[in-house]
Amino acid sequence: MISPVKIWRNQQHFTKLIGKTGIIVSWTMIRVPPDGFSEQAPYPLAIVRLDDGTHVTAQVVDWDISQLHSKQKMITVLRRTIETTADGVIPYGIKVKPI
Partner 1 sequence: MNITVAGIGMTKFGELWAASPRWLASEAVHRAIEDSGMEKKSIQGLFVANMLSGMLGMQGHLGALFAEELGLSGVPAYTVEGACASGGLAIHAGMMSILSGQYDTVLVLGVEKMTDHKPELVSSALMGAGSNEERLTGATFPGLYAMLARSHMEKYGTTEKQLAAVSVKNHFHASFNPLAQFTHPITIDTVLKSSCVADPLKLLDCSPVTDGAAAVILTKKVMRASSGVQIIASQIATDTLGLSGRKSLTELAATKIAAKKAFQQAGVEINDIDCAEVHDCFTIAEILAIEDIGFGNKGEVGPRMEKGVYTLGTAARVVVNSSGGLKGCGHPIGATGVKQIVEITNQLRGACGKRQVKNAKCGLAHNVGGTGATAVVHILKK
- Site residues for partner 1 per CB under 8 A: 10, 25-38, 40-41, 43, 45-47, 54-59, 70, 81-82, 91, 93, 95
Strand partners, 22: 50, 74
Please identify, using beta-carbon distances, which residue of 68 and 73 lies nearer to partner 1.
68
Report the residue number, 34 or 88, with the smaller CB distance to partner 1: 34
> What is the closest distance, in whole angstroms, from the C-beta atom of residue 91 to partner 1 in the complex?
7
Q: Rounded CA gap, 1 and 35, in Å?
A: 10
* Residues paired with residue 24 on neighbouring β-strands, in sequence order: 48
* Cα distance between residue 22 and residue 39, in whole Å: 28
